[in-house]
């Protein structure tokens, strides 16, 4: 639910290049929640154990005042597992009730309602679906995925590698969670996996943290004595020791002529900025749509030691609630940048395309006319913003999906 960034509020702050309404969470391209699926090791013979982890940002929930004080939201989540023939292999529906004492938290994109469900299945290929229903707004959203679990090999089997965090709803620690981004202010994070081996000799275990350039910034070698039962292994990642960038946590087990390898990507972010920002230089270039010429010059010419302070000053001047830790407009802006990269990238990043620029400034169109295959015409789209009485026409001159702005018109 997009409660904050209305056209009026942002137009007041960005008078020269106003951001308009935020993306609608009923857009077919936007689900408003995240899921991840993976396999753990089953203690049941001839069965596989799969999990589906769900994470819903508070900002995408409908909160109402609670009689006991504060605010509450309610979700119904249905988890479905289908075999490849379309038959229903497993189904579970759970109610998720969320409470918060702070109205500010109801707008948060970093606080999430989370839930993880596990299912025992036979080995094979499965289609997964999660449907969440906001009980207040009655809005439904769906996630789909797939998984191919296998029955464990007693000689050496390893589950998927996953992050663990405390479930905000049932306080069950140790379950897999949808976590991808961390801050350098975070002390540490805990990753885990399951392992089983009937080997008669110790296994060689190696944990590594791999940076973007492929180098290992941390490495830990261990020997593990197998017990012929499922063993859970943990690894603590100290985030405050890692520079801001993207990483992979890797796990390798060697023994009895077998090798198992797993990896888990994650990102360490700059404190106080949206999680998608991992390259400050790129984030500075991306403000060009709303920055003045002088602001652009100062930001781009700043030394590495000065640019973070100037970047924070730039956004502080535009913070609609400077007395709170969250800068809602910065969050919204970089959400739209990330969204544009997902939807509009061609040979250029999505944020640099004409459609990306218009989306960043004005948000999701009220309506889109798509004309991909009309005779005698190149593919084109018309984006309507009824609340602004404006439309934009984009033409694909190359035929490769690189739409260029043909011209904006006021009124229609």
Residue-wise DSSP of 336-387: HHHHHHHHH-SSS-GGGSHHHHHHHHH-S-SEEEEESS-TTS--EEEEEEGG
Determine contact, residues 142/79, Cβ cutoff 8 Å. no
- Name the β-bridge partners of 72: 64, 99
Q: Which residue has the tokens 């609630």?
A: 321
What pLDDT sits at residue 177?
Answer: 85
Taking CA atoms, 69 is separated from 113, 136, 340, 351, in Å, by 19, 17, 38, 42
Write the Ramachandran bin of 25: left for phi over 0, alpha for psi from -120 to 50, otherwise beta: alpha
Determine contact, residues 199/154, Cβ cutoff 8 Å. no
> Would the pTM count as exceeding 0.85?
no
Determine contact, residues 383/358, Cβ cutoff 8 Å. yes
For residue 188 the two structure tokens come to 């540490």
Instruction: Please give the Cα distance from 50 to 130 (Å, whole number).
Output: 14
Determine contact, residues 163/191, Cβ cutoff 8 Å. yes
What radius of gyration do the chain's Cα atoms show?
Answer: 24
Tens-binned pLDDT, residue by residue, of the chain (412 aa): 333 333 433 443 343 344 544 444 434 334 578 899 999 998 787 889 999 999 998 988 999 999 889 999 999 999 999 998 999 999 999 999 999 998 988 888 778 899 999 999 999 999 999 999 999 999 999 999 999 999 888 889 999 999 986 444 444 556 788 877 787 666 788 999 999 999 889 999 999 999 988 999 999 999 999 998 899 999 999 888 888 778 999 999 999 889 999 999 988 877 778 877 878 889 999 999 999 999 999 999 988 778 888 999 999 999 998 887 778 899 899 999 999 998 999 999 999 999 999 999 999 999 999 998 877 788 999 999 998 999 999 999 888 888 999 866 655 4
Determine contact, residues 58/106, Cβ cutoff 8 Å. yes
Domains and CATH numbers, the chain: 52-150 (2.60.40), 152-269 (2.60.40.3880), 280-410 (no CATH)
Determine contact, residues 250/207, Cβ cutoff 8 Å. yes
Instruction: Count how many Cα atoms sit within 13 Å of the Cα of residue 43 in the half-sphere of its side chain.
Output: 5
CA triple 236-238-241, angle to 5 deg? 155
Instruction: Please give the Cα distance from 251 to 201 (Å, whole number).
Output: 19
What pLDDT sits at residue 10?
Answer: 43
- Name the β-bridge partners of 380: 371, 395
Instruction: Please give the Cα distance from 130 to 211 (Å, whole number).
Output: 33
Instruction: Please give the Cα distance from 130 to 115 (Å, whole number).
Output: 11
CA proximity to 163, closest of 261, 260, 53: 53
108 Cα distance to chain centroid: 14
What pLDDT sits at residue 168?
Answer: 43
Q: Which residue has the tokens 């015409």?
A: 377
Instruction: Please give the Cα distance from 206 to 250 (Å, whole number).
Output: 8
CA proximity to 380, closest of 363, 399, 361, 365: 399
């Amino acid at each position: 639910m997009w409660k904050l960034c209305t056209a009026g509020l942002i137009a007041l702050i960005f008078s020269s290049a106003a951001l308009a309404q935020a993306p609608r969470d009923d857009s077919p391209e936007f689900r408003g929640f995240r899921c991840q699926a993976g396999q753990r090791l089953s203690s049941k013979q001839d069965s596989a154990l799969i999990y589906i982890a769900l994470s819903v940002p508070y900002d995408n929930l409908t909160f109402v005042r609670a009689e006991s004080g504060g605010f509450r939201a309610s979700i119904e989540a249905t988890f479905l597992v289908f075999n490849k023939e379309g038959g229903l292999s497993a189904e579970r529906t759970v109610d998720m009730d969320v409470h918060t004492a702070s109205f500010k938290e109801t707008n948060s994109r970093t606080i999430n309602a989370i839930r993880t469900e596990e299912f025992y299945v036979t080995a094979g290929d499965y289609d997964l679906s999660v449907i969440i229903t906001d009980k207040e707004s009655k809005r439904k959203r769906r996630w789909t995925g797939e998984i191919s679990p296998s029955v464990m090999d007693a000689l050496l089997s390893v589950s998927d590698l996953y992050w663990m965090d405390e479930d905000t709803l049932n306080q069950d620690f140790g379950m897999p969670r949808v976590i991808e981004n961390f801050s350098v202010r975070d002390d540490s994070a805990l990753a885990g996996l399951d392992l089983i081996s009937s080997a008669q000799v110790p296994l060689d275990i190696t944990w590594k943290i791999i940076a973007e350039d492929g180098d290992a910034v941390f490495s830990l070698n261990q020997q593990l004595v197998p017990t012929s039962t499922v063993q859970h292994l943990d690894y603590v990642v100290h985030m405050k020791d890692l520079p801001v960038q993207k990483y992979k946590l890797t796990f390798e087990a060697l023994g009895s002529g077998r090798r198992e390898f797993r990896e888990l990507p994650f990102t360490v972010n700059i404190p106080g900025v949206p999680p998608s920002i991992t390259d400050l230089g790129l984030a500075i270039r991306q403000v060009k749509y709303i920055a003045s010429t002088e602001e652009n010059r100062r930001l781009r010419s700043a030394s590495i030691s000065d640019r973070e302070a100037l970047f924070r000053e730039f956004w502080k001047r535009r913070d609609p609630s400077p007395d709170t830790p969250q800068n809602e407009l910065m969050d919204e802006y970089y959400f739209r940048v990330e969204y544009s990269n997902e939807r509009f990238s061609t040979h250029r990043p999505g944020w640099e395309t004409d459609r990306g620029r218009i989306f960043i400034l004005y948000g999701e169109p009220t309506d889109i006319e798509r004309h991909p295959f009309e005779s005698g015409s190149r593919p084109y789209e018309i984006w309507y913003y009824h609340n602004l009485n404006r439309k934009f026409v984009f033409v694909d001159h190359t035929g490769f999906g690189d739409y260029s702005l043909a011209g904006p018109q006021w009124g229609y």
